[in-house]
Amino acid sequence: MRKKVSIVGSGNVGATAAHWIASKELADVVLIDIIEGVPQGKGLDLLEAMPIEKRDSYVTGTNDYADTANSDIVVITAGIPRKPGMSRDDLLNTNYKIMADVVGKVVKYSPNCILIVVSNPLDAMAQAAYKLSGFPRERVIGMAGVLDSARFRAFIADELKVSVENVTAFVLGGHGDTMVPLSRYSTVAGIPITELIAPDRLAQLVQRTRDGGAEIVKYLKTGSAYYAPSAASTEMVEAILKDKKKILPCAAYLEGEYGIKGLYVGVPVKLGAKGIEQIIQIKLTADEQAALQKSADAVKELVGVIGV
């Protein structure tokens, strides 16, 4: 019996995640969207690519949540981007209503699934999904740190002209301007990057990581990043379905860890078949702890707007 992953939202992020998951033969994939025809068309197109890829993943598109029944994992990418003239609070409230609708239907058909939230603003939407679903915190995970760390790793590898496979990087905190890239814990083949990159240049790479999404939006002008965000979601899906016990930075609901209680914040977690199997607590300097707290405060402000 093959595993089943449903992806809510068949836009660029959702459809590309379906592509990565199917091409790695991780699971059968259901793409679901409110727009008629789009998930069906993209799903069929992907299904027709499988003989070329020599993969037996079955991909289908639908507008009916009944087709997502008994999913092992549901990846939620649904939501609207901020439009001109729209306040942040308007965006939050609109996406919260979408999340409430989506989570209600997902829980009805897949009460035992694990939720991976990709919708923005990421940390607040993960918190909304957690409260709305009634699931334990282990089964509601926000995708942010994997993406932010990948961006940091890409910039480090490019700077030092080394293989990306040699580079490990950690980024904590909320997904956005307040994220906390931890240079001290980032290495190249085990060597701390602080030994290899001058402090002023490292500060520039950290800032570029923080601005990673905005830099891509500036180039695209309409739309935002989707290859890396969908690949990041796929890495989480793979860690769970293969029970890899992989340590990845993810948005998790903290209950006192790192001195933070009752909020979704990006921290290193162990991902396995049960979802979050452990929250890894690492020692932070006073400055790093203050930066993480600032990030948590930014999330607290957002969840306050939607009352979760």
Domain span at 297: 145-306
Candidate from 65-79, 171-185, 202-216 with smallest mean pLDDT: 171-185
Answer yes or no: do 160 and 134 share one domain.
Answer: no
Mean pLDDT over residues 103-132, rounded?
97
Answer yes or no: do 158 and 291 share one domain.
Answer: yes
**CATH code, domain with 35:** 3.40.50.720
Average pLDDT, the chain: 95
Q: How far apart are CA 51 and CA 63, in angstroms?
A: 25
Q: Name which of 279, 272, 275 is nearest 244 in CA terms.
A: 272
Give 4-52 pLDDT, tens digit per residue.
999 999 999 999 999 999 999 999 999 999 999 999 999 999 999 999 9
Q: Indicate whether 176 pLDDT > 80.
A: no
Supply the pLDDT for residue 17: 98
> Judging by beta carbons within 10 Å of its beta carbon (0-12, 13-18, 19+), is residue 63 exposed, middle or buried?
middle
Supply the pLDDT for residue 85: 80
Confidence of residue 302 (pLDDT cuts 50, 70, 90): very high
Predicted model pTM: 0.96
Q: How far apart are CA 160 and CA 163, in angstroms?
A: 9
Answer yes or no: do 126 and 181 share one domain.
Answer: no
Please report, for residues 8, 161, 235, 256, the alpha-carbon distance to residue 73 in angstroms, rounded to integers and kept in the order given.
Answer: 11, 37, 13, 27
Q: Which of 175, 182, 299, 306 is catalytic?
A: 175
Cβ contacts of 175 within 8 Å, gap of 6 or more: 120, 121, 122, 123, 142, 144, 145, 147, 148, 251, 266
What phi and psi values does residue 181 have, to the nearest 5 degrees? -70, 125
Supply the pLDDT for residue 193: 97
3-state secondary structure of 286: helix
Give 183-198 pLDDT, tens digit per residue.
999 999 999 999 999 9
Q: Where among 142, 157, 176 does a domain terminate?
A: 142
**CATH code, domain with 197:** 3.90.110.10
Answer yes or no: do 127 and 155 share one domain.
Answer: no
Q: Where among 93, 119, 142 does a domain terminate?
A: 142
Answer yes or no: do 9 and 127 share one domain.
Answer: yes
| Most confidently predicted of 80-89, 201-210, 217-226 | 201-210
Mean pLDDT over residues 186-214, rounded?
95
Candidate from 138-142, 187-191, 209-213, 254-258 with smallest mean pLDDT: 209-213
Q: Say whether the peptide bond before residue 192 is cis (omega within 30 degrees of 0).
A: no
Answer yes or no: do 155 and 192 share one domain.
Answer: yes
Supply the pLDDT for residue 251: 97
- To the query of whether residue 19 is one of the catalytic residues in this protein, the response is no
Supply the pLDDT for residue 90: 87
3-state secondary structure of 20: helix
Answer yes or no: do 138 and 46 share one domain.
Answer: yes
Q: Indicate whether 86 pLDDT > 80.
A: no
Nearest 5°: the CA angle 83, 87, 90 is 90
The tokens describing 47, both together, are 């299904």
Answer yes or no: do 137 and 161 share one domain.
Answer: no
Q: Where among 142, 173, 199 does a domain terminate?
A: 142
Confidence of residue 175 (pLDDT cuts 50, 70, 90): confident
Answer yes or no: do 14 and 136 share one domain.
Answer: yes
Q: Around Cβ 1, how many Cβ atoms within 10 Å?
A: 4
Name the helix (H) or strand (E) containing 107.
helix 88-109
Q: Name which of 64, 62, 72, 80 is nearest 21 in CA terms.
A: 72
Answer yes or no: do 285 and 150 share one domain.
Answer: yes
Answer yes or no: do 169 and 267 share one domain.
Answer: yes
16 neighbors 227 (Cβ within 8 angstroms):
yes
172 neighbors 295 (Cβ within 8 angstroms):
yes
Q: How far apart are CA 273 and CA 180, in angstroms?
A: 28
**Domains identified in the chain, total number:** 2
Answer yes or no: do 284 and 201 share one domain.
Answer: yes
Please report, for residues 7, 40, 80, the alpha-carbon distance to residue 61 in angstroms, rounded to integers and kept in the order given.
Answer: 10, 4, 20
